[in-house]
Amino acid sequence: MTGAGVSGIRAFSPGALTREVLDEMAAAQDHRGGGGADVWWGPDVGLARSRSVAADVSFPQPARSVDGRWVVALDGAIRNHATLRAHLDHPFRSRDDAELVVAGLALEGISFVERLTGQFALVAHDLRTDTTHLVRDRIGVQPLHYRHVPGGIAFASEVKALLVLGPRPGVDHRSLDAYLAHRTVPAPDTLFEGVKKVRPAHRVSIMPGGHLEETAYWSPPEADPDGTWTPDDAIEAVRDGVREAVRASLDPDAPVGINLAGGLASSLLAAQAQQLRGDEAVHTFSLAYGDDAPHELARTGRLSGLLGTRHHDVHLGHADLDELWGPLTWHRDAPLSDPADLAAHVLARAAGEHVPAILCAQGADELFGGHQRYRLAGVAERSYGLPGLPAPLRSGLGRRVERRLGATFSAPERRRLLGQSPPRDRRSSATVGADPVDRMLRHDLRHTLPDDVLERLDRMSSAASLEVRLPLLDHHLVELAFRLPTSVKVRAGCTTWVLREAARPLLPEEVIERRVPEPGAGSWWYAGMRDAVRQRLTGSGSWIAQTLDQSLVRDLLLRHEHGGHEQDRIWALMALEVWHESFFADTPSVPRQRGAMPPAVAGAARLS
């Protein structure tokens, strides 16, 4: 994830496009770069791209192709740029990825984007066909949103840039069921009415007249049949794939950091990066909070000593919670789904004092079957269709399994909270796969990873002006992981089996065999906020109190006070309330930017 942001407007009536609005959109997400923005102005279309303070301006963006047909604004990095440059017959004059993209589009048309690998979002306008293409990378690392506005369609990396024009959007009540289930909303929807996400591995084409066409350009390969891979072959392939992915993520000319969370995947990244760096110590950063913080930091400190890294401890406390919950909600454009949002920002802020970029291990669980819920995949599929059980018993079983699989509120609880069943058009379609675990992994790759984990990393690191790189989501490693059968991922009750075996030459046994608890909100945050939480969720001015069933909310608070461990569900409601206050209150809570708040951002606050 690199520092940049794209935005623009496709106009279909006079007055829908002005230079002032483009400038305001760019300013609303200046934190993605901090170095101002460049604007391209064409017939009925305008593009803007914020730039990093350290950006190479030898090929400025938005970029124009040599033949004059294409204009491109790019956010992110193209990882296979060297291969593509060798393939294209073009006299390149810079190393900028945008020049590569416009050269490829000029030679091959919009289908060229299917050749790109990496983490990117781009807008490509074709002046010959008068078509604007919004394209997002295969995994959904970089964000891209769009919204119909009077007289046109606006698009931007972040939602807040879309709020500076047009009428103020309302809450998308049709997405609340999805949020209450998993604390996030799957693409293409958001909690803002009318604001859509471009899905990962898709392009949305805005045709003349405003018609939209959505095209999928990639999907993970099918799993190879059992017997295709021997365990030893799978282990060797994964070990080689991780090593090459880490190598490609290291910058030979600049230091890099590792988020050393203490689990298998982050420890493997740190070990591999330190081995590749040789005598140059890699910076590692560990963050802890709650009652186990001293123990966790001591353990990651010992691991750093074994690996030979230069280690830094980072703490998250109640003061950070009080200071950051509102501002980071604004940065995320959504409720903070977990204290991990706060943790990601605090760690990025600390790491930025030492390194320009940090490697994170996100994706390992979704590629190699790391979550404990994957062990319940078969039970989950069977529990919703057992014809031999009476309906109440079948419903009770489904409710328990749903909660075990990570649902914040079960389907009956969501119906009670909202007073209605979820809209049929918002229910996820079935995922095709070789077996229950494979289907669950593919669902998480399509939804859980981009709509929660990667969204968190993008917004929290951008707010701290730090670049985040995700080696385990390297295109080739992702395809390898999905070709591997379930039998080498979840094996004899052991999750991420093949990754554990691949890591054995590099890590001590205690790290290989350690079982990291499933993430959750924990109870540490609630202690200092008890009265505030009750007031925010049940008081006369509470949006939650006006929108959701109050008896269930009060029962939840009461159960927690009596030892019911309801902190995750209370967090979900509190985060939703803070989000609503941040964007829909009469005086929205918008954070002060570095230095003075840009006037355009203040204007966005008034509109939202």
HEC string of 140-168 equals CCCCCEEEEECCEEEEECCHHHHHHCCCC
Residue ending a domain, among 162, 184, 216, is 216
Report pLDDT for 214. 98
pLDDT for 204-240, tens place per residue? 999 998 999 999 999 999 999 989 999 999 999 999 9
Q: Which residues contact 89 (CB under 8 A, 6 or more apart)?
A: 107
25 inside domain? yes
* Average pLDDT over the chain, rounded to an integer: 88
Examine the domain organization and report whether 201 and 308 are in the same domain. Answer: no
266-297 tens-digit pLDDT: 999 999 999 999 989 999 999 988 766 788 88
pLDDT of residue 394: 42
Q: Which of 513, 535, 569 is the last residue of a domain?
A: 513
Flag whether pLDDT at 568 surpasses 70: yes
In this predicted structure, the answer to whether residue 85 has a pLDDT above a threshold of 60 is yes
- Which of 451, 483, 513 corresponds to the end of one domain? 513
97 in a known ligand binding site: yes
350 and 457 together in one domain:
yes
In a domain, 539, yes or no: yes
Q: Choose the weakest-confidence range: 312-321, 464-473, 478-487, 494-503.
A: 312-321
| Per-residue confidence (pLDDT) for residue 9, from 0 to 100 | 97
Query: Mean pLDDT over residues 146-158, rounded?
Result: 96
Residue 565: partners with Cβ closer than 8 Å, 6 or more residues away: 523
Tell me: do 121 and 239 sit in the same domain. Answer: no
Closest CA to 406 of 181, 140, 242, 87: 181
Q: How many domains does the chain have?
A: 3
226 versus 574: the higher-pLDDT residue is 574
From residue 234, give the alpha-carbon distance in Å to each of 191, 214, 227, 237.
41, 36, 11, 5
- Is 447 found in the same domain as 322? yes
At 509-555, the pLDDT tens digits run 989 987 766 666 567 888 888 999 999 999 999 999 999 999 999 99
Residues 292 and 152 in one domain: no
Rg (CA), the chain: 24
Q: Is 569 within a domain?
A: yes
pLDDT at 422: 82
The answer as to whether 192 is a domain residue is yes
pLDDT at 183: 95
- Residue type for position 341: D
Q: 510: exposed, middle or buried (C-beta count within 10 Å: 0-12, 13-18, 19+)?
A: exposed
Which whole number is the average pLDDT over 453-474? 95
In three-state secondary structure terms, 35 is: strand
Mean predicted confidence (pLDDT) in 563-573: 93
Helical H runs in 455-496? Answer: 455-463, 475-483
Tell me, yes or no, whether 580 lies in a domain.
Answer: yes
Give yes or no for residue 386 having a pLDDT over 60. no
| Residue 389 pLDDT | 38
Range of the domain at 590: 527-607
Q: Are residues 67 and 122 in the same domain?
A: yes
The pLDDT value recorded for residue 15 is 81
Same domain? For 154 and 237 the reply is no
Please report the pLDDT score of residue 57 as a whole number. 58
The reply to whether 50 and 185 lie within a common domain is: yes
| Domain co-membership, 502 together with 549 | no
Which pLDDT value is given to residue 56?
Answer: 56
Q: Is 592 left (phi over 0), alpha (psi -120 to 50) or beta?
A: beta
Question: What number is the average pLDDT over the span 590-608?
Answer: 34
166 and 236, same domain (yes or no)? no
- Which has the closest alpha carbon to 536: 564, 504, 576, 488? 576
Please check whether residue 378 lies inside any domain of the structure. Answer: no
371 vs 110 pLDDT, higher one? 110
Classify the phi-psi angles of 68: left when phi > 0, otherwise alpha if psi is within -120 to 50, otherwise beta.
Answer: left
CATH number at residue 203: 3.60.20.10
Find the mean pLDDT for residues 345-365.
Answer: 96
Q: Where residue 285 sits, what CATH number does that domain have? A: 3.40.50.620
Establish if 417 belongs to a structural domain.
Answer: no
Give per-residue pLDDT as tens, 465-483: 999 999 999 989 999 999 9
| pLDDT at 201 exceeding the cut of 50 | yes
Share of the chain above pLDDT 70, in %: 89
Does 253 lie in the same domain as 169? no
Residue 69: which pLDDT band, with cuts at 50, 70 and 90?
very high
Region 170-196 average pLDDT? 96
Average pLDDT on 166-188 reads 94
Instruction: Tell me: do 193 and 278 sit in the same domain.
Output: no
The predicted-structure confidence for 392-451, as pLDDT tens digits, reads as follows 444 554 566 776 777 899 999 999 999 998 887 766 667 889 899 999 999 999 999 999
To the question of pTM greater than 0.85 for the whole model, the response is: yes
Any domain includes 320: yes
